Amino acid sequence: MPKELQSPMDSANPAQDVQGIWGMTIDQDLCTGCQACVAACSMENNVPFVGEVDAGYGRSMQWIRIERFWQGSYPNIKATPYQPVMCQNCHNAPCEPVCPVFASVHSASEDLNLQVYNRCVGTRYCANNCPYQARVFNWRDYMDPRQRPELVTLSNHWNPDVTVRRRGIMEKCTFCIQRIRHAEDTAASENRDIRDGEVVPACAQACPASAITFGRINDPATKVSQAADTSRGSHLLEELGTIPHVTYLAGGA
């Protein structure tokens, strides 16, 4: 396509100080829907359990969910592949401009979509505007053992690297930003660049089928950009122009 006809949104990040854009591929042909990523993510990120009643009412707080649809009745069922969905860390994130208090902002250097918990006042506009429904809200103080002793099952196992959130604020998948920062600090102290595969988010680490790959997608040498670059790759709701950083791989060779 001639350059002047290209959509302005396709022209990656205009900021000159891009250090590296983090991205992910999820191979739906490998995914077995075992939910190990959901459990690992919850443990890593101090995601609370909300209890049976609230979960049944659509208030479960997992940052990653595995979607699956089927048609027909047993045994003639036509099912879609498993589809793990988390925050897609869009380049043009619809959740960001609608926040009145800058709780949802963009990291220009890494093209990440950040959520600043202590700025959030709980208008929930970002969650409405997220086409992927990737955001979750703290409907109650699920983490407070005084209020819900039956829900706090692993309160001694909270991850000290991640903030515990209170009621009334919005949260979402961060691409395990605490692990990204840890790797960056290590690399800086050793005076080198981050190696490919050095940052592994909890979901990718736990995946028994190795369906999730994480790394820098602006570097063509990384495993993640090579996987995303094949004809098997596609983005969720690509037509909205949000430019997500998660690529789904399915079908073909």
Q: How far is C-alpha 148 from the chain's CA centre?
A: 27
Determine the Cα angle at 166 with ends 163 and 168, to 5°. 130
Do 233 and 247 touch, CB atoms closer than 8 A?
Answer: yes
In single-letter form, the type of residue at position 183 comes to A
Tokens found for residue 162: 């991640």
**Contact string (CB under 8 A) for other proteins, positions 182-221, x = contact:** ----------------------------------------
Contact call for residue 19 and other proteins (CB under 8 A): no
Task: Please pick, from the candidates 19, 36, 141, 235, the single residue that binds other proteins as defined by CB under 8 A.
Answer: 141
Min dist CB 195 to other proteins, Å, is: 28
- Check binding of 246 to other proteins (CB under 8 A): no
Per CB under 8 A, does 85 bind other proteins?
yes
Q: Encoding tokens for residue 104? A: 């949802």
The first and second tokens of residue 13, run together, are 């990040």
69 binds other proteins (CB under 8 A): yes
| 41 belongs to the binding site for other proteins (CB under 8 A) | no
Eight-state DSSP code of residue 223 = H
Per CB under 8 A, 101 contacts other proteins: yes
Neighbour count for residue 4 (Cβ, 10 Å): 5
Bridge partners, residue 84, by sequence: 66
CB of 194 to other proteins, least distance (A): 23
- Residue 67 as a binder of other proteins (CB under 8 A): the answer is yes
Which residues, 104 to 123, sit near other proteins by CB under 8 A? 104-106, 108, 119-123
Per CB under 8 A, the list member of 10, 57, 145, 223 interacting with other proteins is 57
What backbone torsions phi and psi does residue 220 show, to the nearest 5 degrees? -65, -10
Q: Residue 87 in contact with residue 171, Cβ under 8 Å? A: no
Q: What are the residues binding other proteins (CB under 8 A)?
A: 9, 54, 57-59, 65, 67, 69, 85, 91-102, 104-106, 108, 119-125, 127-129, 131-133, 136-141, 167-170, 237, 240
